[in-house]
């Protein structure tokens, strides 16, 4: 029987202080993993430490020059933090009509959702390769990487890029026994989506595009992440798993 247990494994979840990241980190811990989390703020770090009982770390993916030193510090931690799983959950969105997107909005989303995610993953993978260790990366993408959604030109661009990045990294790193996959949810009820889903008329329009007739909850996504992070998915790499209620089946 395949096991979904993560006993003995150590995971790092970015953006673990709230919303989907918080739910993912908690689920991995329930399955037996030792889970560490990151947040952009000290307040978020304190929330992580309260939730998980492990040390939280301040990390802003937009500040790309801090990423490699952060991974080096974690990887050489005297307490023996040695990662087996990386969940790239942290991401941002600034919905706006394409005609109104600013340079600042573009840079912020691309730097966080794509550039920062790549360089964090690269830095962790370098440690795995150097140590001859296996590893699993689970990126949190979006159905927006597969279909176009109004007012999300930049967000769709970053998530589509993440899907392609997943494939390339999976191909290049397979020889090192590093698996790379993406979970791509539909609209999930979190702090990040609250404003969009509560807009008069807009929430009903989006819900109407989902054949199962409802938005996601964080609990709907954690099973897919836990599966791809663990040994039960040992032959799966380079895959984007849509958890979208059928949104992209149209």
The residues assigned a catalytic role are 155
Q: Please identify which residue in the block is written with the tokens 């150590």.
A: 10
Asked if residues 190 and 149 have their Cβ atoms less than 8 Å apart, the reply is no
Look-up of token digits 């959604």 = 149
Degrees to nearest 5, angle at CA 24 with 6 and 106: 130
Helix axes 67-75 and 117-131, enclosed angle (nearest 10): 30
Indicate the helix (H) or strand (E) that contains 123.
helix 117-131
Which residues 6+ apart lie within 8 Å of 232 measured at CB? 2, 3, 4
Q: What does the alpha-carbon distance between residue 86 and residue 55 come to, in Å, rounded to a whole number?
A: 16
């Amino acid at each position: 029987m395949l096991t979904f247990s993560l006993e003995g494994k150590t995971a790092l979840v970015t953006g673990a202080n709230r919303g989907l990241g918080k739910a993912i980190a908690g689920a991995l811990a329930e399955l037996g993993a030792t889970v560490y989390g990151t947040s952009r703020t000290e307040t978020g770090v304190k929330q992580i430490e309260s939730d998980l009982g492990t040390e939280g770390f301040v990390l802003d993916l937009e500040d790309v020059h801090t990423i490699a030193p952060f991974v080096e510090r974690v990887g050489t931690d005297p307490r023996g933090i040695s990662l087996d799983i990386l969940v790239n959950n942290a991401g941002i969105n600034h919905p706006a009509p394409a005609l109104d997107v600013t340079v600042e909005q573009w840079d912020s989303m691309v730097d966080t959702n794509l550039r920062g995610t790549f360089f964090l993953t690269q830095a962790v993978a370098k440690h795995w390769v150097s140590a001859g260790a296996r590893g699993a990366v689970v990126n949190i993408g979006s159905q927006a990487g597969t279909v176009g959604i109004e007012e999300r030109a930049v967000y769709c661009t970053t998530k589509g890029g993440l899907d392609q990045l997943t494939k390339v990294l999976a191909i290049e790193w397979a020889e090192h026994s590093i698996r790379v996959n993406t979970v791509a949810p539909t609209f999930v009820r979190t702090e990040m989506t609250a404003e969009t889903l509560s807009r008069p008329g807009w929430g009903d329009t989006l819900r109407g595009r989902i054949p199962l007739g409802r938005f996601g909850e964080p609990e709907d996504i954690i099973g897919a992440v836990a599966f791809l992070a663990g040994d039960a998915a040992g032959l799966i790499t380079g895959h984007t798993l849509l958890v979208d209620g059928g949104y992209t089946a149209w």
